[in-house]
Amino acid sequence: MISFMKATSVFLENLPFLIALSLSFISSARADTVLNNPGIPESESLELSDRIDQHTGYVVAQVDISVQRENDKKTYFIKVAEGELFVNEIQLDYNHLTTISENRYDYKTGQLVESYLNDGNGKVHFFNRENGIDKHFCDNDKNIYSRYAYFLSFGGFPFAVGKSVFFSSYVSEYGDALPMKLSCIAKEFVTVQAGVFDCYKLELAVAGWQSFFSSDKYYLYYAVESPHRFIKYEEKDKNGKWYANELIKIIN
């Protein structure tokens, strides 16, 4: 689905103590959840244009959203099929859209590519096959959002121009949690394959002292109309050229 922070992976390897200290402070400082369900449908399917990488280019991603119920508790289950390349299966907290689990599979082989699991009691497991990551963490942060779920979770932003929130994400480029800042910077009309939408523009960036080493910015657009559907995502590739993933259509 959407990938972030591709070009800023070297400095963390050399500063493990400062990383642990910084993330410990950030996690303890955020006791309240920052995103809230704006009324995301309990059953919906979407098609998105999805750029895999510079070599592969774009595929059509089929997104299926449903709700699972267990012991009177509801969670969102999202399945994203990225063409015939990858499948993401994501479980989100119903009220705050934080990630409970996220599994990314190779479509053809079924092999697990990346996974994130949060048991809700401060225990996190993060795995990435390509980078040889298989770690368990103690992390009591209530605001951990996985990057392949950003497109849905960020619809729970408290939309108002000038508003910012902070959270963390486990990313394979670092092998650990990274502090992030999400800000609403504008309202504007956006044209995509699905039509023209009045949107809030969000800016995503690395937060904390790590931001001195990673100045990249990423932009996401959400419909002003509730439930604030994802409309478009913009990122620069390694050659400095902008590309976009966007909503193609709402199937049902």
Block means of pLDDT (10 residues each) for the chain, length 252 residues?
47 41 42 90 97 92 96 95 97 97 97 96 96 96 95 97 96 89 98 98 91 86 97 89 95 88
Q: Assess if residue 78 is contained within a domain.
A: yes
Q: Assess if residue 187 is contained within a domain.
A: yes
Entry pTM: 0.88
Q: Assess if residue 5 is contained within a domain.
A: no
For residues 142 and 189, what is the distance between their CA atoms, to the nearest angstrom? 33
Q: Residue 49 has what pLDDT? A: 97
For residues 202 and 125, what is the distance between their CA atoms, to the nearest angstrom? 29
Q: Assess if residue 2 is contained within a domain.
A: no
Count other C-beta atoms under 10 Å from residue 20's C-beta: 12
Q: Residue 1 has what pLDDT? A: 56
Q: Assess if residue 204 is contained within a domain.
A: yes
How far does Cα 194 stand from its chain's mean position? 22
Q: At CB < 8 A and 24+ separation, what contacts does 62-71 make?
A: 65/40, 65/41, 65/152, 66/42, 67/42, 67/43, 67/94
Q: Assess if residue 4 is contained within a domain.
A: no
Q: Assess if residue 3 is contained within a domain.
A: no
State whether residue 114 is helix, strand or coil: strand
How many structural domains does the chain have? 1
Rg, Å, the chain Cα set? 17
Residues 176-210 as b/e (b if ≥16 CB within 10 A, e otherwise) read: bbbbbebbbeeeeebebebeebebbbbebbbbbeb
Q: Residue 11 has what pLDDT? A: 39
180: containing domain: 11-250
Q: Assess if residue 52 is contained within a domain.
A: yes
Residue 241 tokens read as 């050229």
What distances in angstroms separate CA 125 from CA 10, 88, 117, one per listed residue? 22, 17, 5
- Nearest CA to 235 out of 4, 1, 19 is that of 4
Residue 75 tokens read as 């969670």
